[in-house]
Homo-oligomer: A and B are copies of this chain.
Amino acid sequence: MALIVQKYGGTSVGSLDRIRNVAARMKRTRDEGNQVVAVVSAMSGMTDNLIKMAKEISGNPSERELDVLLATGEQQSIALLAIALLEIGVDAASITGSQAGIHTTGSHTRGRILNMDPSLMQGFLAEGKTLVVAGFQGVTPDGMIHTLGRGGSDLTAIAVAAALKADVCQILTDVDGVYTCDPRVVKNARKLPEISYDEMLEMASSGSKVMQSRSVEFAKKFGVVFEVRSSLNDNPGTLVLEEHPNMENVVIRGVSIERSQARITITGIPDEPGMSGMILGALAEAEINLDMIISNIAHDGFARHSFTMHSSDLGKAQAALKPLLAGMPNSKIETEAGIAKLSAVGIGMRSHSGVAATMFKALGDAGINIGMISTSEIKIAVTVDETRIEDAARAVHDAFQLDKVPV
């Protein structure tokens, strides 16, 4: 008898009918001889409604109280799903984050999981119960309700799977797996049967919005093998797991794209210690997430820095830099919006040469100009004009023959 953790997102439990469907799916899994633990999100729209109410009362609602408020969304889902399971004859019990022993730390609305005490869940499982656990929430050491922020339900599912030593953790969502590229962009994109944690992390941070990085990191840390699959059908999805030797045979696992990027380049920065720290510090303080960061010494003896960020942050970034650059008489700031990022990801890169050359040639042949370039051990990322990003994705996808099943 296998123990299967299934995570259902807000869309999957977005109406009473959908809740009944989830219950039926869980019953099937159970009837096949498995123990089932579901981790569920709030019904879609619920969290936004609660935030809206809080914001009507206060422009800056207390984060502690937001946690108390938002946690009710998942609490309603688990009760309704448990009722639906009981109605079709499955002995089920709902479990809040606190009852699931999800102990958290960190600031309110952005909790991190500190440790897990799965004893209550284990007791219920020993009684043969099917469990419905509230995603996205835990409890602080002093007993306060704590939510885990965006992607929190995925994190809960991975943590519950780790704590219960589950055989499988299924992340059931509205996509049916991880693809070699976004199928809306590259028609012949192929669903990957498996992908390593590190590749999944690079894909996640490169615009593939299947899962938040921290859930993948948590799974990697605790060795939780999980599967991203559709909640709408029974097709196998994509297994995410520790890399194994066979995986290196594939040079590039996938290509991801991220639109609406912007670049800032600052030139004329005195080439002195501490300058980069000051600039990056000012941007961090303004809560701007930088993506690519490139620094160099120009021929004029001054340093130059380039960063990319989401284009909606561009104004805020310029404002944050202004007072700083006022003290550097030679500095100049140059901005560019309307760019996009393309990343090619694969652990095979480590043992194959010429990957960058193949990629740049493909882009060049397609007449696409490359802006910034940044690389990691298993990723090559470039910026291109946003109007050419789809062409760029198709060109790179074709160049590495990602539509073909590797032999």
A83 and B61: CB pair below 8 A?
yes
- Out of B16, B94, B144, name the residue touching A57 (CB < 8 Å): B16
Residues of B with C-beta under 8 A to A66: 79, 83
A57 and B83: CB pair below 8 A?
yes
Q: In the complex the two chains form, what is the Cα distance from A153 to B315 in whole Å? A: 50
Closest residue of chain B to A71 (Cβ to Cβ) is B75
Chain A contributes a number of interface residues (CB within 8 A of B) equal to 36
> Which chain A residues in 60-82 approach chain B with CB under 8 Å?
61-62, 64-66, 68-69, 71-72, 75-76, 78-80, 82
Residues of B with C-beta under 8 A to A231: none
Q: In the complex the two chains form, what is the Cα distance from A155 to B72 in whole Å? A: 23
Q: In the complex the two chains form, what is the Cα distance from A268 to B76 in whole Å? A: 54
Residue A189 is within 8 A (CB to CB) of chain B in the complex: no
A82 and B65: CB pair below 8 A?
yes
Q: In the complex the two chains form, what is the Cα distance from A143 to B100 in whole Å? A: 11
Enumerate 14 A-B pairs (CB-CB under 8 Å) in ascending A order. A53-B80, A54-B83, A57-B83, A58-B84, A61-B83, A64-B93, A65-B86, A68-B78, A68-B94, A68-B96, A69-B75, A69-B83, A71-B75, A72-B76
Taking the nearest CB of chain B, how far is it from the CB of A45, in angstroms?
14
Q: Closest 4 CB pairs between A and B? A: A69-B79, A72-B72, A68-B79, A58-B87
Residue A300 is within 8 A (CB to CB) of chain B in the complex: no
A57 and B19: CB pair below 8 A?
yes
B72 and A16: CB pair below 8 A?
no
Q: In the complex the two chains form, what is the Cα distance from A257 to B143 in whole Å? A: 47
Residue A56 is within 8 A (CB to CB) of chain B in the complex: yes
Q: With A20-B57, A57-B16, A93-B64 known to touch, is A80 a contact of B87 (CB < 8 Å)?
A: no
Residues of B with C-beta under 8 A to A145: 96
Residue A120 is within 8 A (CB to CB) of chain B in the complex: yes
Residues of B with C-beta under 8 A to A143: 99, 120
Per-residue CB contact flags for chain A residues 32-63 toward chain B (1 = under 8 Å, else 0) read 00000000000000000010011011100110
Q: In the complex the two chains form, what is the Cα distance from A308 to B54 in whole Å? A: 49
Residues of B with C-beta under 8 A to A75: 68-69, 71-72, 75
Q: In the complex the two chains form, what is the Cα distance from A143 to B79 in whole Å? A: 16
Residues of B with C-beta under 8 A to A61: 83, 86-87
Q: In the complex the two chains form, what is the Cα distance from A50 to B75 in whole Å? A: 12
Q: In the complex the two chains form, what is the Cα distance from A19 to B58 in whole Å? A: 12
Residues of B with C-beta under 8 A to A79: 54, 65-66, 68-69, 72
Residues of B with C-beta under 8 A to A53: 16, 80
B57 and A87: CB pair below 8 A?
yes
Closest residue of chain B to A70 (Cβ to Cβ) is B79
- Out of B16, B58, B120, B144, name the residue touching A86 (CB < 8 Å): B58
Residues of B with C-beta under 8 A to A16: 53, 56-57
Taking the nearest CB of chain B, how far is it from the CB of A284, in angstroms?
28
Q: In the complex the two chains form, what is the Cα distance from A57 to B84 in whole Å? A: 6
Q: In the complex the two chains form, what is the Cα distance from A93 to B68 in whole Å? A: 10
Q: With A16-B53, A57-B16, A143-B120 known to touch, is A62 a contact of B76 (CB < 8 Å)?
A: no
Q: In the complex the two chains form, what is the Cα distance from A280 to B84 in whole Å? A: 37
Closest residue of chain B to A87 (Cβ to Cβ) is B58
Closest residue of chain B to A56 (Cβ to Cβ) is B16
Q: In the complex the two chains form, what is the Cα distance from A56 to B19 in whole Å? A: 11
Closest residue of chain B to A20 (Cβ to Cβ) is B57
